[in-house]
Amino acid sequence: MHYKGNNIIRPPSEAHSIILQVTVGCSHNKCTFCGAYKDVPFEIKDEAIVEEDIDFASRFCRGQKRIFLADGDVLILSQRRLVSLFKKIKEKMPWVNRISLYANAKAILSKSAEQLQELKELGLHRVYMGLESGDKDVLQRIRKGADPATMIRAAQRIRQKDIFLSVTVLLGIAGVQDSLAHARATAQVLAAMGPNQIAALTLMVMENTPLGSQVETGAFRLPASEAILLELRELFSSLEVQRPCQFQANHASNYLAINCRLPRDKERIIAEIDTALAGRHPLRPEWLRAL
């Protein structure tokens, strides 16, 4: 496989998927907290190279039934290119039953409902979208490139086509002062987005980012573990979902591992968080936390 760049990043749930790199880097690449692609110019890979990788996977990855399209934002490609890509996957690997990718709000809204339906019929099963925060001021500060209303519109466009939507939020991204307001606003936006899955990660500051520089100067203060748990509790208690939703905070960055269904498990998880806040449940130590 022709992998290019410093990092090939995929969601935890795609650990056993074929990773097919279609783009290099991220089309937005302005978020202040993300250092994954800071030194990698965005690039759409040559179709012939991608087709070679599809041929390779068709010969040597016959036991894998899922494909994740990397890097940061494959949905930004033209519809013609995407349709061609999906058809090649379907032709060369007919046993694949799920194609997934990352997508930001801009890329999603660049596709019409009809175009998303076409991709779904060709195998698009799951879209991973980074919300990070539902607070408009926080989104502006971290240069996410979209406000809450835009995030909601993008999410609803995906859900209206019954494509599985996984939304990521970032605990700690609002700093110490706005922690609880960030949690409440994020819960409100998540409820409007209606995702199938919510994944909560905890901010780990990277030195090669603008946010890293803000930490060094004291302009940004990262909440301590107890404050992160309080933020998680506020998010959880404020979140009112209208349909069943998987909630996961079991990433290596999190202090407390959570994997549950909402609304079924809401009260149980709040009780678990309270137990941790009372010091009766061990937290993941700093040396074990990772991105």
In-domain check, residue 5: no
* Domain CATH code at residue 95: 3.20.20.70
- For 49, the token pair is 């190279």
How confident is the model over 230-249, as a mean pLDDT? 95
Whole-number Cα distances in Å, 93 to 85, 124, 238? 12, 14, 43
Helices marked H in the chain: 47-60, 79-92, 105-109, 113-121, 136-141, 148-160, 179-193, 210-217, 225-238, 266-277
- For 238, the token pair is 């404020």
In-domain check, residue 2: no
Confidence of residue 36 (pLDDT cuts 50, 70, 90): confident
Structural domain boundaries, residue 229: 12-288
Residue 6, pLDDT above cutoff 80: no
Burial 235-271 (b: 16+ CB within 10 A, else e): bbbbbebeeebebbbbbebbbbebebebeeebeebee
In-domain check, residue 121: yes
Question: For the segment 88-127, what is each residue's pLDDT rounded down to a tens digit?
Answer: 999 999 999 999 999 999 999 999 999 999 999 999 999 9
Alpha-carbon gap, residue 148 to 173, rounded angstroms: 15
Residue 39, pLDDT above cutoff 90: no
Alpha-carbon gap, residue 162 to 34, rounded angstroms: 29
How confident is the model over 183-210, as a mean pLDDT? 96
Alpha-carbon gap, residue 128 to 260, rounded angstroms: 18
In-domain check, residue 236: yes
Question: For the segment 103-114, what is each residue's pLDDT rounded down to a tens digit?
Answer: 999 999 999 999
Residue 222, pLDDT above cutoff 80: yes
Q: How many domains does the chain have?
A: 1
In-domain check, residue 255: yes
Do residues 258 and 275 touch, judged by C-beta distance below 8 A?
Answer: no
